[in-house]
């Protein structure tokens, strides 16, 4: 360069322009912009800063010379320089700004000098051809997405000066096979190496205390070494590492994060060291190759769905564990047995639901409640001992435990929940101890092998459908103390022959014995308020004893009782509901007591009654179509005319006759 060329250059710098077409700051220390069509560029000595976006979008730029005077490369300085293949960053540079070389798709190698303390956000992100990166000793931080989506990068060595690898620093580096993390790094950030599909192994040194969320998620790791020193394993840290075969978690780790190893399909061996206190939600969910696990006593909490969907055959839970979370072993279809230590006080809902191979449960710890659906669909479960600590059996707890043969409910239990044993078709023996106060709706629904049941006096309420569909149930003893029997409680109990309802029962629901086709006799207590549709369809019912005190025979109470030939209605009854004795094919005569005030519609419709004796001196209010066919109706002496004139009765005037009442 000649003398006058130098003079012109100096003048152009101080004038804010240059003969090379670039724009500089007035003091010449900042390169602000270059022409978009530039192909090669030498930054003059004396420039201290390459400004933001100075070379942005220079598609034809292939080479650049940065002098030793430059201390800072600004944000986006070389962003989208598609043709830039190489660059040398001098030791004078202390800062590389955000997305400084992002989308330099032809850049093949880079050496970051130790003078740079931080590789900032996206500095080399999406550099598709970048194969070699050298990070010199002195760099302390690799920033967020610094090398994200560098698909050709094959190896990286993190020097000891680096303390933190930030969020997604090397995420989606598809070709990254080798990562060396030196002593010094304390934190591996969220998603730092996620989706590195060629990464087969990683050794995490003891200086690292925290592995961030999704740090290695979706990588092809086969081997992981976690050194003593790591205390926290973040959520989903190794999720979807489908080639991972084994993992040993050191004593220093206190918490295994949520989803930490979820869907690690090849994971066969997991060692959880004494020291871990919490296994997070879904931590080992869907680990299809995991056959056994030992939970140390240091673990106090096992999160929701922690091992659900895994192929566990053997589980050892040590003394010290206090909580097994909701769905913890849900759908572990190969699990054959489990022993729960005394230290366990809480087992979450659906904890063992769908464990189809589970045959026995040796202990249930010290739980006070067996939660909803805990053992739902454990189709191989033959026996279980419910400890004295249990106060409540929740809803659907043993639903469809098809091989469960017997169950003893201790006196500590006060409530048996809805459908608790529903569909336990092999259940032959049930012992309900004194202490239970409530048998929930459908509690023993469709227990088709259950032949007998004794309900103790402590029970106050038998819920709706509690024993409905128990085909083999022949003997039922309901002790004095029960006050309410819910609707359809014993419906479709096709083998039930007789039942005595105690005097304490004041309320029975609709259709409680509907479809009990073998029921021949029934005793109805005097305290009963009503019995709507109570015995409808009991084809074999021949004997009914209704005690004094009953005031109302409800609608459809004995509808379609085809074998019922006679029934004695006590004097206390004042009302008979709609269709109460309709379609009773064997009923030929009926006596209506003297206190009767109302007989509803169709009460005796399609029942072949030939004689009706009504003792009431005042004609009861009569509904429509009460008698069909029409019988002979006997009424008290001197009351004939009153009946013949009364509404409803007048249509049967020709069939009404006076008869002296028997004394």
CATH code for the domain in which residue 574 is found: 3.80.10.10
Q: Is 265 a member of any domain?
A: no
Q: How far apart are CA 577 and CA 565, in angstroms?
A: 19
SS (H, E, C) 367-400: CCEECCCCCCCCCCCCEECCCCCCCEECCCCCCC
Looking at the predicted structure, is the pLDDT value of residue 15 above 50? no
Beta pairing class for 323-324 and 301-302:
parallel
Q: Supply the DSSP string of 245-292, one letter for each residue.
A: -EEEE-TT--EEPTTTTTT-TT--EEEE-BTB-EE-TTTTTT-TT--E
Beta pairing class for 429-432 and 452-455:
unpaired
Question: Phi, psi at residue 58, to the nearest 5°?
Answer: -80, 85
Over range 219-244, report the average pLDDT: 95
Q: Supply the DSSP string of 151-220, one letter for each residue.
A: TT--EEEE-TT--EE-TTTTTT-TT--EEEE-TT--EE-TTTTTT-TT--EEEE-TT--EEPTTSSTT--
Residue 661, token pair as written in the block: 């009442």
Over range 157-184, report the average pLDDT: 96
Q: Is 618 a member of any domain?
A: yes
DSSP strand E in 437-482: where? 438-439, 452-455, 461-462, 475-478
Q: How far apart are CA 220 and CA 217, in angstroms?
A: 9
Kindly report whether the peptide bond that precedes residue 641 is cis, defined as omega within 30 degrees of 0: no
The answer to whether 326 touches 349, Cβ cutoff 8 Å, is: yes
Looking at the predicted structure, is the pLDDT value of residue 174 above 90? yes
Number of Cβ within 10 Å of residue 228's Cβ equals 12
Q: How far apart are CA 606 and CA 587, in angstroms?
A: 10
Q: Is 110 a member of any domain?
A: no
Q: Is 312 a member of any domain?
A: no
The answer to whether 42 touches 69, Cβ cutoff 8 Å, is: no
Q: Is 384 a member of any domain?
A: no
Q: How far apart are CA 118 and CA 71, in angstroms?
A: 13
Residue 626, token pair as written in the block: 């009460």
Contacts of 381 (CB under 8 A, 6+ apart): 358, 359, 360, 361, 375, 398, 401, 403, 404
Looking at the predicted structure, is the pLDDT value of residue 175 above 50? yes
Q: Is 530 a member of any domain?
A: yes
Residue 337: its pLDDT value, please? 87
This prediction has a pTM of: 0.82
Q: Is 604 a member of any domain?
A: yes
Q: Which residue, among 507, 546, 504, has the nearest Cα to 523 in the 3D structure? A: 546
Q: How far apart are CA 277 and CA 321, in angstroms?
A: 9
Q: What is the pLDDT of residues 307-328, one digit of tens each?
A: 999 999 999 999 999 999 999 9
Beta pairing class for 278-279 and 301-302:
parallel
Give 14's pLDDT tier (boundaries 50, 70, 90). very low
The answer to whether 457 touches 478, Cβ cutoff 8 Å, is: no
The answer to whether 650 touches 642, Cβ cutoff 8 Å, is: no
Residue 1: its pLDDT value, please? 42
Looking at the predicted structure, is the pLDDT value of residue 12 above 70? no
DSSP strand E in 443-491: where? 452-455, 461-462, 475-478, 484-485
Q: Is 596 a member of any domain?
A: yes
Give 11's pLDDT tier (boundaries 50, 70, 90). very low
Angle, vertex CA 320, rays to CA 315 and CA 325, nearest 5: 60
Residue 262, token pair as written in the block: 């979820």
Q: How far apart are CA 503 and CA 480, in angstroms?
A: 7
Q: What is the pLDDT of residues 339-360, one digit of tens each?
A: 899 999 999 999 999 999 999 8
Q: How far apart are CA 244 and CA 226, in angstroms?
A: 13
Question: How many domains does the chain contain in total?
Answer: 1
Range of the domain at 655: 520-663
Over range 363-367, report the average pLDDT: 88
CA distances from 112 to 117, 138, 284, 529 (A): 10, 10, 39, 90
Q: Which residue, among 312, 326, 314, 332, has the nearest Cα to 370 in the 3D structure? A: 326
Q: How far apart are CA 162 and CA 186, in angstroms?
A: 9
Over range 541-562, report the average pLDDT: 93
> Helix, strand, or coil here: 321?
strand
Residue 38, token pair as written in the block: 């530039």
Over range 196-218, report the average pLDDT: 96
Residue 660: its pLDDT value, please? 63
Q: How far apart are CA 126 and CA 146, in angstroms?
A: 9
Over range 219-241, report the average pLDDT: 95
Over range 121-125, report the average pLDDT: 97
């Amino acid at each position: 360069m000649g003398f006058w060329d130098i003079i012109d250059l100096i003048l152009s710098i101080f004038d804010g322009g240059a003969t090379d077409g670039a724009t500089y700051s007035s003091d010449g220390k900042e390169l602000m912009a270059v022409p978009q069509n530039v192909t090669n560029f030498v930054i003059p000595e004396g420039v201290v800063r390459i400004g933001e976006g100075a070379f942005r979008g220079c598609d034809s730029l292939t080479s650049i010379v940065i002098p030793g005077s430059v201390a800072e490369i600004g944000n986006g300085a070389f962003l989208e320089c598609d043709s830039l293949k190489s660059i040398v960053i001098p030791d004078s540079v202390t800062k590389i700004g955000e997305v400084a070389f992002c989308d330099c798709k032809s850049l093949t190698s880079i050496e970051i000098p130790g003078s740079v303390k931080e590789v900032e956000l996206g500095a080399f992100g999406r550099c598709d051809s970048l194969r070699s990166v050298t990070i010199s000793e002195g760099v302390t931080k690799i920033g967020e997405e610094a090398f994200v989506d560098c698909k050709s990068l094959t190896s990286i060595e993190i020097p000891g000066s680096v303390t933190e690898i930030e969020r997604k620093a090397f995420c989606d580096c598809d070709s990254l096979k080798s990562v060396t993390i030196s002593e010094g790094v304390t934190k591996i950030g969220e998603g730092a190496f996620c989706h590195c599909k060629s990464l087969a192994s990683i050794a995490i040194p003891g200086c690292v205390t925290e592995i961030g969320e999704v740090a290695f998620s979706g990588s092809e790791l086969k081997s992981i070494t976690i050194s003593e020193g790591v205390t926290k394993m973040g959520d989903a840290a190794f999720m979807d590492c489908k080639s991972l075969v084994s993992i040993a978690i050191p004593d220093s780790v206190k918490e295994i994060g949520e989803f930490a190893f979820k869907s690690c399909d090849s994971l066969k061996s997991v060692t959880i060291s004494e020291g871990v206190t919490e296994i997070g939600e879904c931590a080992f969910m869907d680990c299809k190759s995991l056959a056994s696990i030992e939970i140390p006593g240091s673990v106090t909490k096992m999160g929701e769905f922690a091992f659900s969907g895994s192929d566990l055959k053997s589980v050892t839970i040590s003394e010290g564990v206090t909580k097994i979370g909701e769905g913890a072993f849900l759908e572990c279809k190969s699990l054959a047995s489990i022993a729960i230590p005394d230290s366990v006080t809480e087992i979450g809902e659906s904890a063992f639901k769908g464990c189809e191979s589970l045959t026995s449960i040796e202990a249930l710890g010290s739980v006070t409640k067996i939660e909803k659906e805990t053992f739902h669909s454990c189709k191989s479960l033959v026996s279980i001992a419910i400890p004295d600590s249990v106060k409540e059996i929740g809803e659907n707890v043993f639903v469809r435990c098809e091989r469960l043969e017997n169950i003893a409910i201790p006196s500590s239990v006060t409530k048996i929940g809805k459908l608790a044993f529903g569909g336990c078709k092999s259940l032959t023996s049930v012992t309900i101890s004194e202490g239970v106060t409530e048998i929930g709706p459908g509690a023993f629904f469709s227990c088709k092998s259950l032949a007998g049941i004794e309900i103790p006096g402590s029970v106050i309420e038998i819920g709706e459908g509690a024993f409905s569909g128990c085909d083999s149930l022949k003997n039922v003893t309901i002790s004095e103390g029960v006050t309410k029997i819910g609707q359809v409680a014993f419906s479709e109990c096709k083998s039930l022959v007789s039942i005595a309802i105690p005097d304490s029962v004041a309320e029975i629901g609709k259709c409680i014995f509907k479809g009990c086709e073998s029921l021949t006799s029934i005793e109805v207590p005097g305290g009963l308020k009503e019995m709507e549709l109570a015995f409808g369809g009991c084809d074999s019912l021949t004997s009914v004893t209704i005690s004094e005190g009953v005031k109302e025979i409800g609608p459809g109470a004995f509808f379609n009782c085809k074998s019922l030939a006679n029934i004695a209605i006590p004097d206390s009854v004042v009302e008979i509901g709609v269709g109460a004795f309709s379609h009773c094919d064997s009923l030929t005569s009926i006596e209506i007591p003297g206190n009767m005030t109302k007989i509803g519609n169709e009460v005796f419709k399609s029942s072949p009654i030939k004689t009706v004796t009504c003792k009431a001196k005042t004609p009861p209010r009569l509904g429509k179509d009460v008698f069909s066919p029409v019988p002979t109706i006997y009424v008290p002496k001197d009351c004939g005319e009153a009946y013949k004139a009364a509404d409803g009765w007048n249509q049967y005037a020709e069939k009404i006759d006076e008869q002296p009442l028997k004394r």
